[in-house]
Structures are given as structure tokens and as C-alpha cells.
Amino acid sequence: MLLHPDAMGVAELAEKIRKIPNWPEKGILFHDITPVLQSAAYFRLLVDLMVYRYMGQKIDVIAGLDARGFIIGAALAYQLNVGFVPIRKKGKLPFDTVSQSYALEYGEATVEIHTDAVHRGDRVLLVDDLVATGGTMLAGIELIRKLGGEVVEAAAILEFIDLPGGKKIRESGVPLFSLCQNEGCM
């Protein structure tokens, strides 16, 4: 596993990520961050590493992708003293929304954001747990752009370097930060 050079302590954090073969379907190696979240020390390390990266930067709001991006993004928003915006699966938000469909590694999905969640010119940090095919992040980027926001960076714990997601995100004009990189295939 390759670690981001700025991330002291990431090797231990990466080891806490549980790998579950053939879930949610055969051929997928699921990377489960719940053991990181269950440990007070590792969850704090994760949030502190992200806070360290973004403190002092001009960020107006953090957008978290459903569902693990909510956990990381909300904790990060609290520490950076900025607002948090959820990007949810279709049909879960109660107010007016805009939506974006995308393909994921084992199907298709649609995500939505409230129409008043991001304002024109807002500098947004987009957060999720991992980047595989990039579909979810790219959909989030498109939603933020539809509302007039600027995605200053996309951030994740883990980027699968054997899948095209990271490259696609960077090609969309959005920098991608990942604490660690690994091969995601079985």
C-alpha cells in the first residue's frame, strides 16, 4: 500500500480498514472503514490528518457523499468551523433538489443535493471514504458545479490505483487528495 507522504501514522490507519471479499456481490473486494470509526484513536487520527491538510485554506463548506462521506465530512466541518452539506442517494432529501446519475463498479445510482446547499462562488471540499471508479465523486462534483460552487479538492481515505476513478477526477479539473493508495481488485 502506498501512503501519502504528508500522512504520518497512516500505515496503522490503513491496516484498520477491513477487507471483505465478494461483497456486495461476487468479484468485489469491499474496503470497510467501520473499524477505523469504532476506534477513538484511529478516528481521531483520521480527522486530525484531514484537518491538518485543510486548516488555513479558504473553504466555505464541506460536502459529504452518502453515507461514509457524511461521517468524515461532518467531523472535518466541525473542526474547520465550516458548514456541512450532505449529498444523498435519490429520494432521501426532503427539500427541492438537483440530481445526477452515475455508474458505479457494480451498478448505477443517482445522488441529490438541496438546491440551497451550495451558493454561487462557494469553495467546496468534497469528501468520501474511497475512490474506485470515481462515479460518486464525479456526480458530486457535477452537482456542486450545477449550483455554482467550486470544488477546491476531493478528499478520500483510500484511492484504488488500479481503477480509473482518481484519474477521471483529476481530468475533470479537480485535485484529489487520498491518505493512502492501494489496489482495489481481488
Q: Name the active-site residue from 12, 25, 44, 105.
A: 105
Look up 153 and say whether it is catalytic.
no
Look up 105 and say whether it is catalytic.
yes
Report angle CA 21, 27, 32 to the nearest 5 degrees.
35
Residue 68: all three cell numbers together:
461514509
pLDDT at 5: 46
CA-wise closest residue to 96 among 81, 75, 113: 113
Report angle CA 24, 29, 31 to the nearest 5 degrees.
90
- Spell out a b/e string for 59-91, using b for 16 or more CB atoms within 10 Å of the CB, else e: bbbbbbbbebbbbbbbbbbeebebebbbbbeee
pLDDT at 105: 60
pLDDT at 2: 44
The tens digit of pLDDT for each residue in 38-79 reads 999 999 999 999 999 999 999 999 999 999 999 999 999 999
Does 3 have pLDDT greater than 90? Answer: no
- Number of other CB atoms surrounding residue 49 within 10 Å: 18
Q: Name the active-site residue from 53, 68, 88, 159.
A: 68
pLDDT at 185: 53
On whether the pTM is more than 0.75, the answer is yes
Domains with residue ranges and CATH for the chain: 2-182 (3.40.50.2020)
